[in-house]
Amino acid sequence: MYLLTYDHSVEGFFSAVFEAYERKLKNVVIRKQGLPMVLFTDGMRRVSTNPRKAERVYVKLKALMGELGIQKIIYSLLTEEELCEGYIFDVIKYALANPKVNVMKDMSHPSVLKLAQYTKSVHREKHRMEAFVRFKLTCDDIYYADIEPDFNVLPIIAKHFKSRYQDQKWLIFDQKRSYGIYYDLYKLEIIQMKFNRQYNREEGLEMLKKDEPLYQSLWRTYYAQTNIRLRKNMRLHLLHVPKRYWKYLTEKIPEY
Amino acid sequence: MNFERITEKLSILADAAKYDVSCASSGSKRNNKDKGLGNATGMGICHSYTEDGRCVSLLKILLTNVCIFDCAYCVTRKSNDIKRAAFTVQEVVDLTINFYRRNYIEGLFLSSGIFKSADTTMERLVQVAKKLRLEENFNGYIHLKSIPGASDELMHEAGLYADRLSVNLELPTEEGLKLLAPDKNRQDMIDPMNFVKNEILVYNDEKKRFKKTPKFAPGGQSTQMIIGATPETDLQIIHTANHFYKDFNLKRVYYSGYVPVANDSRLPSLQSQVPMLRENRLYQADWLMRFYGFKADEILDPKQPFLELDVDPKLGWALRNLHFFPINIQNADIEMILRIPGVGIKSAWKIIGGRKFSKLNADHLKKMGVALNRAKHFISFSNSLQNLQTLHHQNLKEIILKTINSKYEEHYQPQLALF
Ligand code: SF4
């Protein structure tokens, strides 16, 4: 077996795929850098990310499996799962070996099916984040939100927020992965920040616009009033809003 | 802003609006124009869920709960001794904008008690929508309630600014309405619905010729019926729904299990349960009509005018029509695949795609999301006869029921005990 490692980026992964074919390597395994070592006999290589090579792979795959197919590959990478590259590479090999058909439609192929499942999970998380982001208006007139999604979906939700909130500055920050996306009324920008200690709610209050806590409180009032107690169904409720998301949901956080 | 006063109003007017079950923000595409605020993506997003498990997508409030009518099933009815409140137009606009900017909601669903006349009320609702669109450049979702009896001119204006309009039929039949809402008459509800339907047709026609025709209620119309307040059968309900889907091009019919709000001899008692399972079965039947190609009289017939509570309507149909089965998964048409219990729309299409590549077996189907515990009795595979023995088993229903865990089981048990 031959091990290729890459830098966790989509471009890095495509560069690795390129090298696997360029060097005609047999039994290739592609893994993220920095993961625990596995025993390999035929050697290993740290692939350096190369936009030109990545682009060629991207174009080729898109021609073979269409927009939706390539989207499945990218979504699967966003799961950040340790073994996802194995299934993805498997599908890529399958596609390259069968250029006449769109193999993504072959749901009887285990790796194709796996990618469909990954895509579904990432898609659901994307949808959830588009729903669960809760902006707070800060003193400097930026609508700010923290998130901690299960998968790395920030890059694929930014577009939604950009088309919706065009006349307000906003920043969505992924606390788990320590980066955010900022919209300055013109363009999107990636922002890296390290918070050096745990988030403190009372201190955070000083950063907020005066009316902000009032609107949060109105939202909580609304949320409580719109519930019909006679129909209470917590099982269904938790299915839709699992507890791990409550941390940043205004309606689930007690009043200041 | 007098924050305490607004909180009190919001509290009263959200509470009064919550019995309208519709909260959908789907079916309308509206782009964010000129760098304004908001858009409607066509999909609709549930931003949260209440503890009763319902989607929170829109700020759903009444403009006022002052009402001159006395509909027995409604908390807002004139004779009910409750606190009354009213928002100003500007207050509703401010709340909507501020909630929307924080990504709490997809938009506004505004309804109202009839506080003076139908037209005065409708006019005020239209003002809110107009202000949001023209002054705030708000492109999020707006659903306005059409007030029965409102004039055509007002309905026309409403359609220019709202994404969706709805008139609640309230009760599935005219007799029910006469009994519980003597101030209302069905024709007053149907007139604005008819007007809006025709305007939408005119709009669709004009759009083909002039690209710039202003939008008119792009999300269409919907309505709601209260279930279980009056003795209508499911057959009557389904036929009413079917009639409105067909003749009024409605996007959705909502079924709202009656939540007891009044001590009135015409109504189920205050202690009665909300008929949630029945409501769920009606929604399932509704889906079968809209997406699975079933006709109303296939789902129910006069001999059996109520939906079975222990099996879903699709399984019920299959059990009554065993002669259509087993269905060969490898070559049956999509229409028939859709009729297999346990096969949803998505898995049906996966079957169609996957069978081009290989002969499908039970394992494939399972991975495609098919509920095999139900489906397996109704399917035949190309090269095996495995499950055929059970299909004509006289206890097939019991065999299947043992393998299903209904999410409504908890509700189902106590209801059974009543028989
Ligand atoms: S007119 Fe509407 S708000 Fe007034 S009592 Fe009847 S249903 Fe309730």
**pLDDT of the residue at B409:** 47
Q: What is the pLDDT of residues B212-229, one digit of tens each?
A: 788 888 888 989 899 998
Q: Which residue of B has its CA nearest to A112?
A: B354
How far away, in angstroms, is B65 Cα from ligand 1 center? 9
Res B1 pLDDT > 80: no
Residues 6+ apart with CB under 8 A from A19: A4, A25, A45, A47, A53
What is the residue with the minimal CA distance to atom 3 of ligand 1? B113
Q: Is B272 on the interface with A (CB under 8 A)?
A: no
**pLDDT of the residue at B34:** 81
Q: Which residue of B has its CA nearest to A135?
A: B102
3 state SS of B377: helix
How far away, in angstroms, is B191 Cα from ligand 1 center? 18
Query: Checking phi first, is residue A24 left (phi over 0); if not, alpha (psi -120 to 50) or beta?
Result: left
From B41's Cα to the closest Cα of chain A, the distance in A is: 9
Max distance between CA atoms of chain A, in angstroms, equals: 66
Instruction: Report how far apart, in Å, the C-alpha atoms of B112 and of each of A28, A219, B69, B195 are.
Output: 66, 20, 12, 20
From B118's Cα to the closest Cα of chain A, the distance in A is: 25
Rounded average pLDDT over B19-48: 83
Res B61 pLDDT > 90: yes
Q: Contact at 8 Å (CB) between A112 and A94?
A: yes
Interface of A with B in 119-158 (CB under 8 A): 127, 130-137, 143, 145
Question: How confident is residue A255, by pLDDT bands cut at 50, 70 and 90?
Answer: confident
Q: What is the pLDDT of residues A118-138, one digit of tens each?
A: 999 999 999 999 999 999 999
Say yes or no: A33 and A98 in one domain. Answer: yes
How far away, in angstroms, is B84 Cα from ligand 1 center? 13
* Domains defined for chain B, CATH in brackets: 3-295 (3.20.20.70), 313-409 (no CATH)
Question: How confident is residue A193, by pLDDT bands cut at 50, 70 and 90?
Answer: confident
Do the chains contact at B10 and A145, CB–CB below 8 Å? no
Rounded average pLDDT over B307-313: 89
**pLDDT of the residue at B416:** 35
For A135, the closest of B36, B39, B103 (CB atoms) is B103
**pLDDT of the residue at B264:** 87
Say yes or no: A153 and A95 in one domain. Answer: no
B113 lines ligand 1 (CB under 6 A): yes
Domain boundary, last residue among A125, A160, A187: A125
Do the chains contact at A164 and B32, CB–CB below 8 Å? yes
Of A201-210, B51-60, B179-188, the one with minimum mean pLDDT is A201-210
**pLDDT of the residue at B271:** 83
C-alpha A116/C-alpha A123 separation (Å) is: 10
C-alpha A158/C-alpha B276 separation (Å) is: 38
Pick the residue of A233, A234, A255 with the most B CBs within 10 A to test the interface with B by mutation: A233
Res B418 pLDDT > 50: no
C-alpha B59/C-alpha A226 separation (Å) is: 9
Looking at per-residue pLDDT, the higher value among A137 and A34 belongs to: A137
Say yes or no: A218 and A137 in one domain. Answer: yes
Res B414 pLDDT > 50: no
Domain boundary, last residue among A80, A104, A125: A125
**For ligand 1, what atom is nearest to the CA of residue B65?**
3
Res B412 pLDDT > 60: no
Domain boundary, last residue among A125, A156, A172: A125
Question: How confident is residue A108, by pLDDT bands cut at 50, 70 and 90?
Answer: confident
Of B93-97, B98-102, B190-194, B388-392, the one with minimum mean pLDDT is B388-392
Res B282 pLDDT > 70: yes
Say yes or no: A89 and A141 in one domain. Answer: no
Say yes or no: A165 and A108 in one domain. Answer: no
Find chain A residues with C-beta within 8 A of B50's C-beta.
223, 226-228, 237
Q: Is B3 on the interface with A (CB under 8 A)?
A: yes
Res A142 pLDDT > 50: yes
Rounded average pLDDT over B349-376: 88
Question: How confident is residue B391, by pLDDT bands cut at 50, 70 and 90?
Answer: low
C-alpha B373/C-alpha B29 separation (Å) is: 39
Q: Is A59 on the interface with B (CB under 8 A)?
A: no
Rounded average pLDDT over B89-96: 97
Instruction: Report how far apart, in Å, the C-alpha atoms of B179 and of each of B184, B185, B228, B417 are.
Output: 10, 11, 14, 30
B167 lines ligand 1 (CB under 6 A): no
Find chain A residues with C-beta within 8 A of B358's C-beta.
106, 108
From B341's Cα to the closest Cα of chain A, the distance in A is: 21
Res B387 pLDDT > 80: no
Q: Is B38 on the interface with A (CB under 8 A)?
A: yes
C-alpha B358/C-alpha B349 separation (Å) is: 15
Q: Contact at 8 Å (CB) between A5 and A31?
A: yes
**pLDDT of the residue at B9:** 96
Segment holding B102, helix H or strand E: none
C-alpha B374/C-alpha B62 separation (Å) is: 44
How far away, in angstroms, is B23 Cα from ligand 1 center? 19
Q: Is B102 on the interface with A (CB under 8 A)?
A: yes
How far away, in angstroms, is B163 Cα from ligand 1 center? 23
Q: CB contacts < 8 Å between A and B, how many?
A: 155
The number of domains in chain A is 2
The mean predicted confidence, pLDDT, of chain B is: 87
Rounded average pLDDT over B60-68: 96
From B151's Cα to the closest Cα of chain A, the distance in A is: 30
Q: What is the pLDDT of residues B226-241, one digit of tens each?
A: 999 888 999 999 999 9
Q: Which two tokens stand for residue A195?
A: 């918070």
Q: Contact at 8 Å (CB) between B116 and B145?
A: no
Q: Is B21 on the interface with A (CB under 8 A)?
A: no
Res A49 pLDDT > 90: yes
Say yes or no: A138 and A107 in one domain. Answer: no
Residues 6+ apart with CB under 8 A from A178: A192, A193, A194, A195
Say yes or no: A184 and A235 in one domain. Answer: yes
Note the pTM of the prediction, 2 decimals.
0.86
Looking at per-residue pLDDT, the higher value among B211 and A33 belongs to: A33
Question: How confident is residue A192, by pLDDT bands cut at 50, 70 and 90?
Answer: confident
Find chain A residues with C-beta within 8 A of B56's C-beta.
223, 226
3 state SS of A75: helix
**pLDDT of the residue at B117:** 93
Res A42 pLDDT > 90: no
Q: Which two tokens stand for residue B121?
A: 């009320």
Interface of B with A in 204-263 (CB under 8 A): 257, 259-260
Say yes or no: A219 and A165 in one domain. Answer: yes
Res B393 pLDDT > 70: no
Instruction: Report how far apart, in Å, the C-alpha atoms of B219 and of each of A197, B162, B187, B321 are.
Output: 47, 8, 23, 37
Res A41 pLDDT > 80: no
For A218, the closest of B45, B51, B95 (CB atoms) is B95
**pLDDT of the residue at A48:** 94
Say yes or no: A99 and A147 in one domain. Answer: no
**pLDDT of the residue at B410:** 45
- The helix-helix angle for A10-22 and A84-97 (nearest 10°) equals 50
**pLDDT of the residue at A91:** 96
Q: Which two tokens stand for residue B124?
A: 């005020």
**pLDDT of the residue at A26:** 86
Q: What is the pLDDT of residues A4-22, one digit of tens each?
A: 999 989 999 999 999 999 9
Segment holding B314, helix H or strand E: helix B313-320
**pLDDT of the residue at A196:** 61
The mean predicted confidence, pLDDT, of chain A is: 91
Task: Residue A232: give the domain boundaries.
Answer: 133-252
Q: What is the pLDDT of residues A199-215, one digit of tens each?
A: 566 666 778 899 999 99
Q: What is the pLDDT of residues B148-164, one digit of tens each?
A: 999 999 999 999 999 99
**pLDDT of the residue at B417:** 34
Query: Checking phi first, is residue B392 left (phi over 0); if not, alpha (psi -120 to 50) or beta?
Result: alpha
Q: Which residue of B has its CA nearest to A228?
A: B52
Say yes or no: A75 and A159 in one domain. Answer: no
β-strand partners of A169? A142
Looking at per-residue pLDDT, the higher value among B49 and B413 belongs to: B49
B67 lines ligand 1 (CB under 6 A): yes
Res B64 pLDDT > 80: yes
**pLDDT of the residue at B411:** 43
- The helix-helix angle for B152-161 and B186-209 (nearest 10°) equals 50
How far away, in angstroms, is B67 Cα from ligand 1 center? 6
**Most confident region among A40-49, A69-78, A186-195 by mean pLDDT:** A69-78
Say yes or no: A6 and A26 in one domain. Answer: yes
Say yes or no: A64 and A106 in one domain. Answer: yes
Do the chains contact at A241 and B104, CB–CB below 8 Å? no
